[in-house]
């Protein structure tokens, strides 16, 4: 953000007075969706009985070893992918560890110190940002460790850590809590303890044998420094678990079997989220080769495939496969060590591989997203990168066959927008001359068609990376065009009547404001897929109430969707895409998903009730006055009295939820934008706050409070002409609740302020 120039300070001060009442509204918005959480603390020691520090390390180690487990994760090929640690926290069969230790959808084994294997039956609770997981195992009477109170631990507290560093099982190391640090909004315990791979998930134990933290990561600065998640964060998960059965956990982020398959023994880890496929780990084939093949459609005389790919490292290789027999024989077109390569694979080893062509191309963008495309027909193979043909071959060694994706040498890669057909229709790319013209004349009529072109924003970002001197200006323009395009699309949705508005699409566009890479249609398809999976459980005799029960079980019991309690104000909780990815959100986003699924399965009698500070869902025909559902709290039914009490903490006047009008779809989207704006105000200033106000006013141009807020933000950023526009609008339209005399006085002061 640019510093405020002295010449505009008087005008800014005046506007702040005019907008003072909006600040109250912003403060209320900042508290929107807020929940009060209970903190579990250990009881204080009895007076006269100080805590003992005489217990030696040997006896302490012996005391805790029987509660520590070794967790081994398996690769898709059946081999061991890694070893981590966990520990028993409840005799009924609960084991705590780190989420990255168990992975999502990966087979794992859990072993006690004496060698006994524990059978995993599900995941009791998990949190992606905290990197925590609680596993449920089929066993009772396990020796559980006592959980301490990490908030009371002082700098210099002596602790030990138990784990499996570098696979050396049940190792013990002594150290101290050296500090408390914050990483990405999460408080961590800094430990003067050497941490190695295999320690993750292990307990950090004080001299009284109480767990104070869970080892999570090592420091890149020193081999004798590590970090642990405070144990109080785990207690929050225990208070409000989000359980997922084992069969469902193993399928989380798995490939859609109707569209993709990994050949047996291909290795590596292929995962799928809406709109993208990711690969990590080493393939089992020679050179780390691993394949992911699309389920074959009807055969065609001509095959075209394309995908947009970004490699995690340019030293690696990943791209397209075609002409595949489903095994070791196929063609591949992919970037490899910064060059583009076309290879024919005639077998399992390098001796049966034939590099048909390998070139460098200025069209390839190292480190960025690149569109690869292949046209394969009898006698000809043409390969393209970012719209430019780079390789043409007449090789006929392999016939048309299956198509898909490939990776080598343990290359992490992300693929999106995979397409297959006889002739793919491509939008004409934005060329360099177009970009130059747009930069030079961003508002000119001859460049107007580029403002709504899907590729313009991406092209501008890439140009910015190439031209360091102009990067700041170009990125700002790219963001402006992206926001303008999304806001136009969002406003266009609400030109329809209420029934015709796709609420999920609108909510996903809110997320796309901040993340241009979100594939809105892919997430809409994911909601349709979820609805279809739920609907398959219905029979002709399924009643409306049973449909809601099945929906609730699917979301909260089987798939672990839950309210975000530890990172409530994280922006991701307001993005429907992230809620679907992470299965975590705040009341309004979880309610949007619930209502959209309900409508998709034929339960159309649901509406949103905008309680102050806490959004809920209402099932209209469930009872004489309807039934309230708290989606944030696992789909719990609320009485009206409970809802009124819940809302009273966020309202200065009594709330009668029984008679409260339901929110329109536009109301819901505007409330989501207000939540994001409130978070931005608390954490930052500048363009992000302004973009939410722009979007709100695109939907509700007559909102006086938002006009005042936007004028303030524009003035703070030195956008005097635009600030004048908002103040002039207030004078021209004279909305209720505005002191027009003071606004007119302020407008005159703005008119006399010069711009430079």
pLDDT at 261 over 70: yes
Q: What is the mean pLDDT of the segment spanning 722-739?
A: 87
Q: How many helices (H) and strands (E) does the chain have?
A: 21, 35
Summarize pLDDT for 4-22 with one digit per residue, the tens.
Answer: 454 555 555 555 444 444 4
Q: What's the pLDDT at 429?
A: 63
235 lies in the same domain as 264: no
Q: What's the pLDDT at 222?
A: 58
pLDDT at 539 over 60: yes
Q: What's the pLDDT at 197?
A: 64
Q: What's the pLDDT at 305?
A: 94
Residues 595 and 577: their CA atoms lie apart, in Å, by 15
Summarize pLDDT for 291-302 with one digit per residue, the tens.
Answer: 999 987 656 677
Summarize pLDDT for 381-434 with one digit per residue, the tens.
Answer: 999 999 899 999 999 999 989 999 999 988 999 999 999 988 888 766 666 677
Using pLDDT thresholds of 50, 70 and 90, give the confidence band for residue 256: confident
Q: What's the pLDDT at 290?
A: 93
- Comparing 360-369, 431-440, 588-597, the range with the smallest average pLDDT is 431-440
The answer to whether residue 282 is domain-embedded is: yes
Residues 620 and 368: their CA atoms lie apart, in Å, by 49
Q: What's the pLDDT at 523?
A: 96
> Among residues 396, 421, 446, which one ends one of the domains?
421
Summarize pLDDT for 118-163 with one digit per residue, the tens.
Answer: 989 989 999 888 889 999 998 888 899 999 999 988 888 899 888 8
> Among residues 387, 421, 455, which one ends one of the domains?
421
Q: What's the pLDDT at 269?
A: 82
pLDDT at 660 over 70: yes
Which structural domain range is residue 704 located in? 6-30+684-752
Using pLDDT thresholds of 50, 70 and 90, give the confidence band for residue 608: very high
Query: pTM of the prediction?
Result: 0.69
The answer to whether residue 43 is domain-embedded is: no
Token reading at 480: 């402006």
For all residues of the chain together, what is the average pLDDT?
83
326 lies in the same domain as 188: no
- Comparing 52-61, 108-117, 230-239, 615-624, the range with the smallest average pLDDT is 52-61
The answer to whether residue 738 is domain-embedded is: yes
16 lies in the same domain as 81: no
Using pLDDT thresholds of 50, 70 and 90, give the confidence band for residue 684: low
393 lies in the same domain as 277: yes
The torsion angle over the Cα atoms of residues 638, 644, 650 and 654, rounded to 10 degrees, is 170
656 lies in the same domain as 531: yes
The answer to whether residue 14 is domain-embedded is: yes
303 lies in the same domain as 361: yes
Assign residue 386 the CATH number of its domain: 2.60.120.560
> Across-strand partners of 229?
214
> Across-strand partners of 355?
343
Residues 730 and 736: their CA atoms lie apart, in Å, by 10
- Comparing 84-88, 459-463, 752-756, the range with the smallest average pLDDT is 752-756
The answer to whether residue 623 is domain-embedded is: yes
pLDDT at 613 over 80: yes
pLDDT at 92 over 60: yes
Summarize pLDDT for 496-529 with one digit per residue, the tens.
Answer: 999 999 999 999 999 999 999 999 999 999 999 9
pLDDT at 531 over 60: yes
**Residue 626: DSSP 8-state:** -
Percent of the chain with pLDDT over 70: 83
The answer to whether residue 387 is domain-embedded is: yes
Q: What's the pLDDT at 255?
A: 85
503 lies in the same domain as 465: no
Which residue reads 């999976």 in tokens? 533
Residues 629 and 641: their CA atoms lie apart, in Å, by 13
Q: Which of 40-54, 177-191, 659-673 has the highest mean pLDDT?
A: 659-673
Using pLDDT thresholds of 50, 70 and 90, give the confidence band for residue 591: very high
The answer to whether residue 315 is domain-embedded is: yes
304 lies in the same domain as 158: no
Q: What's the pLDDT at 748?
A: 81
CA distances from 194 to 58, 137, 161, 176, 291 (A): 19, 30, 9, 11, 38
The answer to whether residue 48 is domain-embedded is: no
523 lies in the same domain as 601: yes
Sign for the pseudo-dihedral over CA of 362, 364, 365, 371: positive
Q: What's the pLDDT at 106?
A: 60
pLDDT at 705 over 50: yes
577 lies in the same domain as 652: yes
214 lies in the same domain as 358: no
**Residue 600: DSSP 8-state:** H
For the chain, how many structural domains are there in total? Answer: 5
Q: What's the pLDDT at 146?
A: 93
> Among residues 476, 493, 510, which one ends one of the domains?
493
176 lies in the same domain as 205: yes
């Amino acid at each position: 953000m640019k510093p405020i120039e002295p010449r505009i300070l008087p005008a800014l001060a005046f506007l702040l007075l005019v907008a003072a009442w909006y600040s109250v509204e912003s403060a209320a918005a900042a508290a929107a969706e807020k929940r009060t959480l209970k903190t579990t603390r250990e009881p204080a020691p009895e007076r006269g009985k100080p805590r003992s520090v005489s217990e030696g390390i040997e006896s302490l180690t012996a005391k805790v070893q029987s509660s520590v487990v070794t967790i081994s994760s398996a690769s898709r090929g059946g081999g061991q992918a890694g070893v981590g640690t966990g520990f028993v926290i409840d005799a009924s069969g609960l084991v705590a560890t780190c989420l990255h230790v168990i992975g999502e959808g990966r087979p794992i084994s859990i072993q006690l110190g004496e060698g006994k294997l524990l059978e995993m039956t599900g995941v009791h609770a998990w949190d992606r940002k905290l990197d925590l997981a609680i596993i449920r195992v089929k066993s009772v009477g396990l020796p559980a460790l006592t959980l301490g109170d990490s908030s009371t631990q002082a700098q210099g507290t002596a602790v030990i850590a138990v784990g499996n560093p570098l696979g050396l099982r049940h190792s013990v190391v002594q150290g101290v809590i050296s500090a408390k640090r914050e990483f990405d909004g999460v408080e961590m315990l800094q430990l003067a303890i050497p941490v190695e791979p295999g320690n993750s998930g292990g307990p950090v134990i004080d001299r009284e044998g109480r767990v104070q933290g869970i080892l999570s990561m090592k420091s890149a600065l020193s081999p004798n420094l590590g970090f642990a998640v405070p144990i109080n964060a785990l207690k929050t998960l225990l208070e409000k678990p989000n359980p997922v059965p084992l069969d469902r956990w193993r399928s989380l982020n798995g490939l859609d079997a109707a569209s993709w398959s990994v050949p047996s023994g291909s290795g590596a880890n292929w995962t799928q989220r809406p709109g993208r496929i990711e690969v990590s780990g080493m393939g089992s084939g020679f050179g780390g080769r691993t394949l992911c093949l699309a389920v074959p459609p009807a055969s065609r005389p001509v095959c075209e495939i394309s995908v947009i790919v970004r490699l995690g490292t340019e030293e690696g290789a990943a791209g397209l496969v075609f002409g595949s027999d489903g095994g070791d024989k196929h063609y591949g077109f992919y970037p490899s060590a910064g060059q583009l390569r076309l290879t024919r694979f005639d077998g399992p080893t390098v001796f049966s591989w034939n590099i048909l062509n390998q070139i460098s191309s200025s069209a390839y963008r190292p480190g960025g997203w690149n569109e690869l495309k292949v046209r394969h027909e009898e006698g000809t193979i043409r390969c393209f990168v970012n719209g430019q043909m780079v390789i043409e071959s007449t090789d006929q060694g392999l016939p048309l066959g299956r198509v898909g994706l490939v990776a080598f040498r343990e290359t992490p890669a992300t693929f999106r927008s995979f397409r297959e057909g006889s002739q793919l229709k491509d939008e004409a790319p934005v060329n360099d001359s177009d970009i130059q013209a747009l930069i030079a004349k961003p508002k000119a009529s001859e460049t107007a068609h580029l403002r709504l072109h899907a590729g313009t924003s991406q092209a501008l970002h890439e140009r910015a990376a190439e031209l360091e001197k102009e990067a700041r200006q170009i990125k700002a323009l790219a963001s402006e065009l992206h926001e303008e395009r999304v806001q136009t699309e969002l406003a266009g949705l609400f030109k329809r009547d209420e029934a015709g508005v796709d609420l999920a699409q609108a909510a996903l566009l809110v997320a796309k404001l901040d993340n241009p890479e979100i594939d809105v249609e892919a997430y809409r398809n994911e909601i349709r897929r979820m609805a279809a999976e739920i609907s398959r459980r219905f029979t002709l005799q399924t009643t409306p109430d049973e449909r809601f029960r099945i929906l609730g079980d699917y979301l909260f019991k089987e798939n672990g969707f839950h309210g975000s309690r530890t990172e409530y104000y994280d922006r991701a909780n307001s993005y429907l895409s992230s809620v679907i990815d992470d299965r975590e959100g705040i009341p309004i986003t979880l309610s949007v998903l619930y209502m959209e699924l309900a409508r998709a399965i034929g339960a159309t009698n649901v509406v949103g009730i905008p309680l102050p500070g806490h959004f809920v869902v209402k099932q209209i025909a469930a009872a004489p006055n309807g039934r309230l559902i708290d989606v944030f709290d696992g789909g719990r039914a609320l009485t009206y009295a409970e809802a009124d009490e819940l809302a009273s903490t966020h309202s200065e006047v009594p709330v009668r939820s029984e008679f409260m009008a339901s929110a329109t779809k536009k109301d819901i989207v505007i409330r989501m934008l207000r939540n994001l704006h409130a978070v931005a105000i608390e954490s930052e200033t500048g363009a992000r706050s302004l973009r939410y106000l722009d979007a709100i006013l695109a939907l509700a141009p007559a909102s006086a409070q938002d006009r005042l807020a936007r004028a303030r933000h524009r003035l703070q950023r030195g956008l005097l002409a635009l600030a004048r526009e908002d103040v002039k609008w207030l004078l021209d339209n004279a909305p209720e609740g505005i002191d027009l005399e003071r606004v007119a006085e302020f407008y005159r002061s703005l008119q006399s302020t010069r711009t430079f």
